[in-house]
């Protein structure tokens, strides 16, 4: 504006000067007198002054008009800020103290002035930076908060109706659930019709009670399976009750001597009922392979994580011979369609992982396929190393019990990987080697969780089995070849695997466990050889006693913490936990030590109905109901112990 005001007078003067010079030129050629020329000059000067005064007056008037408009706009903006239903607050960029806010902010926080303090404003700004738009509850209303970082302004917009609408939409999401009665076929087999009717009436009565209590619709698919339809609001109520009816069902069934429990898979979402139903079925399968008597809930989106309820009782699902035979047939087909087979256990494999791998290799050999047991020489425990050395004494063992680098060279495009004694990809012996396979089979006896191979062609997970060696031995028995299937060393290693996981057949055994052991004995398994393989070195025995003698006991739970700054291996940690569990009055034992590899190792054991697997899952580990472990980084053993105590109390 100032530049424009200076330019107009200058332009007038220049213009009038040019006009005067032009007139002067004309007068010269017309022979006018000097007096006339002076008179013309005076006239031009007067005209110039008149123009300058008029221009000055016009500029002043325009400037006054612009200022008036600016004042009007500013007053209107201030009036709008003061009266509009949006709170505006300016905060200090140094300490977040409020510098100015409009009257609507006063109205919003009239009864909650603490939220206008500097620390609360700082918290709001940081939360918005992390999460985007944030909703702030104030009284009965909720406000969406937006931020202008450049001007240090916060805007509070009443979003109560929006939040209510979202809540209604969220609570109205459809839910599909599938209830399966565990062990129904076994419970109703070989009993009278009247007894079967009693069981059916018991199940129907309990399902009807659930329907009546929560006002959900249930539909009977068959005697052992029901479908449930409801919305998320009702599901939330059931979740708040921790699915107590699952526990009630188990307890009342036990009172009537019915070996029945419930497994439930549920899913919910905003659309695509077909996908919701498929997710519910997958969740039910997950509940079953984790041992039954539990609930798995997962939203029908790929990024959602499963939520677990129950699982507080040891697995009661009985393995089916029919399924074992079907697995043998399916595995035979997959093996025969592959170029060769590689069998791999978990990190730092124990005797059960090696035993299961050896039996699986024999299964592949019997189907005319070359198979290799893969190990990492940097992850060998003493007993497993002794067993591999024994296997390598034979020509076949030396050629087919191979290191990881050799396995990479022998792998082909159509090779098959069989993961034994684990189902978590994070626990596999070599993750990059696993990722290189397009065809994967999983055989495990631990409870499955979400970290599961997505490309598995076949999954055989039986959490009711004592060991992975038991599972694959049972599958091997369904081979039609009646000739000798195993060597003495191979049978001994497989039987040693079962022996380790059952603590010399003292826990987790069923009739099927002893049948598998009997088969291995018929194949030449030698107890003396097993004893030598599982023998404990004296230095290891001393370390076990160190942990045991340093143990503390709290409410039937033993905590054995390793000595300060002393390192231990997996075998020592596990044996110390087993020893503590053998103490009178101990229901669960946790040994927590600094591992040789630089992390804190936790080995957990339990008896009865104490689920250590759920606690280890919270620490990033996993395992079996009564036998689990975890690896924890960036913490001390005492820190991990306190965390376990907190998890148990919660």
Any domain includes 76: yes
Q: Write down which residue in 22, 47, 81 finishes a domain.
A: 81
Q: Would you say residue 23 lies in a domain?
A: yes
How confident is the model at residue 80, as a pLDDT? Answer: 52
**Mean pLDDT over the full length of the chain:** 84
Average pLDDT rounded to a whole number, residues 345-359: 94
- Over 70: is that where the pLDDT of 27 sits? no
Tell me, yes or no, whether 154 and 178 share the same domain: no
pLDDT of 207 reads: 95
Same domain assignment for residues 554 and 630? yes
Whether 299 and 334 map to the same domain: the answer is no
Determine, yes or no, domain membership for 628: yes
Asked whether 116 and 98 are in contact (CB, 8 A), the reply is yes
Q: What is the predicted pLDDT for the residue at 138?
A: 78
Instruction: Say if residue 148 is in the same domain as residue 181.
Output: no
Of residues 93 and 337, the one with the higher pLDDT is 337
- With a pLDDT cut of 70, the percent of the chain lying above it is 84
CA angle at 592 for the pair 588 and 597, rounded to the nearest 5°: 140
Phi, psi of 33 (to 5 degrees): -75, 160
pLDDT band of residue 125 (cuts 50, 70, 90) is: confident
* pLDDT for 4: 47
Q: Are 460 and 471 in contact (CB under 8 A)?
A: yes
Does residue 128 carry a pLDDT above 80? no
Q: According to the model, what pLDDT value does residue 68 have?
A: 63
Look at residue 155 in the predicted model and tell me its pLDDT: 87
CATH number, residue 608: 3.10.310.30
Sorting pLDDT into bands at 50, 70 and 90, what band is 169?
confident
Task: Tell whether 116 and 187 lie within a shared domain.
Answer: no
598-618 mean pLDDT: 88
Predicted pLDDT at 1: 47
277 or 147, greater pLDDT: 277
| Predicted pLDDT at 454 | 81
Query: Would residue 355 count as lying in a domain?
Result: yes
Neighbours of 73 (CB within 10 A): 10
Reported as a single tens digit per residue, the pLDDT across 4-18 is: 455 556 666 676 676
CB 627 within 8 A of CB 621: no
Mean pLDDT of 368-391: 92
- Whether the per-residue pLDDT at 482 is higher than 60: the answer is no
Phi (first) and psi of residue 248, to 5 degrees? -60, -40
Rounded Cα–Cα distance for residues 616 and 418 (Å)? 25
**Does the pLDDT at position 73 exceed 60?**
no
Residues in a beta bridge with 261: 182
pLDDT of residue 166: 73
Q: Which position has the higher pLDDT, 522 or 450?
A: 522
Identify whether residues 380 and 487 lie together within a single domain.
yes
| pLDDT, position 306 | 86
Which domain range does residue 196 map to?
174-310
Domain end residue (candidates: 262, 281, 310): 310
pLDDT at res. 200? 94
Inter-residue contact 343 to 371 (CB < 8 Å):
yes
pLDDT at 100: 83
Average of per-residue pLDDT across 331-336: 92
Q: Are residues 402 and 526 in the same domain?
A: yes
Instruction: Check whether 133 has a pLDDT greater than 90.
Output: no
Looking only at the bridges linking them, the beta strands covering 261-268 and 174-182 are antiparallel
Contacts made by residues 134-142, CB under 8 angstroms, sequence distance 24+:
135/159, 135/163, 138/108, 138/109, 138/112, 139/111, 139/112, 141/108
Same domain, 155 and 212: no
Q: What is the mean pLDDT of residues 304-308?
A: 86
Residue 178 confidence (pLDDT): 96
pLDDT of 382-441, one tens digit each?
A: 899 999 999 998 877 778 999 999 999 999 999 999 999 998 898 899 999 999 999 999
Highest mean pLDDT among 68-82, 136-150, 194-208, 605-619: 194-208
The stretch 636-650 carries a mean pLDDT of 91
- For the cut 90, the answer to whether the pLDDT of residue 188 exceeds it is no
Answer whether residue 305 is part of any domain.
yes
Least confident span in 103-117, 411-425, 633-647: 103-117
Question: Is pLDDT at 644 greater than 90 in this prediction?
Answer: yes
Mean pLDDT value across residues 41-45: 68
In the predicted model, what is the mean pLDDT of residues 107-124?
Answer: 76
Q: What is the pLDDT of residues 534-580, one digit of tens each?
A: 888 888 889 999 999 999 998 899 999 999 889 998 889 989 999 99
Q: What is the pLDDT of residues 526-536, one digit of tens each?
A: 999 999 998 88
Pairing of strands 557-561, 588-595: parallel
Considering the domain boundaries, does residue 198 fall inside one?
A: yes
pLDDT of residue 434: 95
Task: Tell me the C-alpha to C-alpha distance, in Å, between residue 534 and each of 472, 504, 524.
Answer: 21, 11, 18
pLDDT at 23 over 50: yes
The answer on 624 and 601 residing in a single domain is yes
Residue 151 has pLDDT above 60, yes or no: yes
Q: Do residue 544 and residue 565 come from a single domain?
A: yes
Distance of CA 307 to the CA centre of its chain: 10
pLDDT at 327 (0 to 100): 87
Q: What is the C-alpha to C-alpha distance for residues 572 and 563, in angstroms, rounded to an integer?
A: 13
Task: State yes or no: pLDDT of 95 exceeds 50.
Answer: yes
Residues 208 and 128 in one domain: no
The answer to whether residue 315 is domain-embedded is no
DSSP 119-182: HHHHHHHHHHHHHSSEEEEETTEEEEEEEETTTTEEEEEE-HHHHHHHHHHHHT-EEEEEEEEE
Residue 184 sits in a domain whose CATH number is 3.30.70.1230
55-59, 227-231, 271-275, 345-349: the lowest-pLDDT one: 55-59
Looking at the structure, tell me whether residues 40 and 187 fall in a common domain.
Answer: no
Last residue of a domain, one of 472, 499, 533: 533
Residue 316 lies in a domain: no
Q: Count up the domains in the chain and report the number.
A: 5
Q: Which residues, at least 6 apart from 408, have a Cβ–Cβ distance to it below 8 Å?
A: 433, 436
């Amino acid at each position: 504006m100032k530049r424009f005001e200076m330019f107009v007078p200058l332009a007038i003067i220049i213009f009038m000067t040019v006009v005067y010079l032009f007139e002067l030129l004309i007068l010269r050629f017309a022979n006018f007198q000097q007096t006339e020329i002076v008179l013309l000059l005076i006239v031009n000067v007067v005209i110039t002054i008149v123009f300058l005064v008029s221009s000055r007056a016009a500029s002043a008037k325009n400037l006054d008009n612009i200022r008036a408009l600016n004042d009007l706009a500013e007053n209107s903006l201030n009036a709008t800020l003061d009266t509009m239903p949006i709170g505006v607050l300016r905060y200090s960029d140094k300490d977040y103290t409020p510098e100015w806010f409009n009257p609507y902010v006063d109205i919003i926080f009239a009864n909650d002035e603490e939220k206008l303090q500097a620390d609360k404003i700082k918290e709001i700004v940081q939360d918005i930076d992390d999460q985007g738009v944030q909703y702030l509850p104030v009284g009965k209303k909720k406000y969406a908060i937006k931020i202008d970082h450049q001007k240090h302004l916060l805007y509070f917009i009443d979003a109560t109706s929006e939040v209510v609408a979202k809540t209604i939409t969220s609570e109205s999401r459809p839910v599909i659930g599938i209830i399966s009665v565990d062990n129904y076929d076994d419970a109703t087999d070989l009993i009278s019709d009247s007894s079967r009717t009693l069981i059916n009436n018991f199940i129907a009565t309990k399902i009807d009670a659930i329907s009546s209590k929560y006002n959900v619709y249930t539909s009977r698919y068959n005697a052992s399976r029901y479908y449930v339809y409801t919305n998320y609001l009702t599901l939330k109520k059931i979740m708040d009750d921790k699915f107590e009816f699952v526990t009630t069902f188990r307890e009342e069934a036990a009172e009537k001597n019915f070996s029945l429990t419930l497994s439930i898979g549920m899913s919910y979402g905003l659309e695509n009922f077909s996908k919701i139903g498929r997710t519910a079925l997958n969740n039910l399968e997950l509940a079953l392979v984790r041992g039954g008597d539990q609930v798995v809930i997962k939203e029908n989106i790929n990024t959602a994580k499963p939520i677990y309820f129950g699982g507080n009782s040891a697995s009661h699902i009985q393995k089916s011979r029919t399924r074992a035979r079907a697995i043998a047939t399916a595995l035979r087909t997959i093996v025969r369609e592959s170029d060769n087979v590689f069998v791999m256990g978990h990190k730092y494999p124990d005797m059960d992982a090696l035993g299961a791998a050896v039996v699986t290799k024999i299964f592949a050999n019997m189907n005319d396929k070359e198979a290799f047991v893969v190990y990492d020489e940097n992850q060998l425990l003493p007993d497993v190393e002794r067993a591999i050395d024994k296997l390598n004494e034979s020509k076949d063992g030396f050629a087919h019990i191979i290191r990881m680098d050799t396995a990479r060279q022998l792998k082909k495009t159509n090779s098959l990987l069989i993961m034994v004694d684990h189902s978590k990809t994070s626990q596999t012996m070599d993750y990059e080697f696993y990722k290189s396979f397009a065809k994967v089979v999983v055989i495990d006896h631990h409870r499955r969780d979400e970290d599961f191979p997505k490309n598995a062609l076949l999954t055989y997970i039986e959490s009711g089995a004592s060991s992975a060696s038991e599972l694959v031995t049972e599958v091997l028995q369904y081979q039609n070849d009646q000739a000798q299937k195993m060597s003495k060393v191979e049978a001994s290693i497989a039987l040693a695997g079962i022996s380790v996981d059952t603590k010399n057949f003292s826990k987790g055994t069923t009739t099927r466990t002893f049948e598998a052991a009997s088969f291995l004995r018929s194949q030449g398994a030698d107890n003396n050889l097993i004893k030598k393989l599982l023998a404990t070195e004296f230095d290891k025995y001393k370390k076990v006693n160190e942990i045991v003698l340093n143990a503390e006991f709290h409410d039937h739970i033993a905590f054995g913490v390793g000595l300060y700054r002393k390192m231990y291996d997996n075998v020592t940690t596990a044996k110390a936990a087993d020893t503590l569990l053998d103490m009178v009055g101990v229901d669960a034992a946790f040994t927590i030590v600094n591992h040789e590899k630089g992390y804190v190792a936790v080995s957990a054991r339990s008896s009865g109905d104490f689920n250590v697997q759920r606690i280890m899952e919270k620490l990033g580990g996993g395992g079996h109901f009564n036998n689990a472990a975890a690896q924890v980084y960036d913490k001390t053993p005492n820190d991990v112990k306190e965390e376990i105590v907190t998890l148990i109390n919660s």
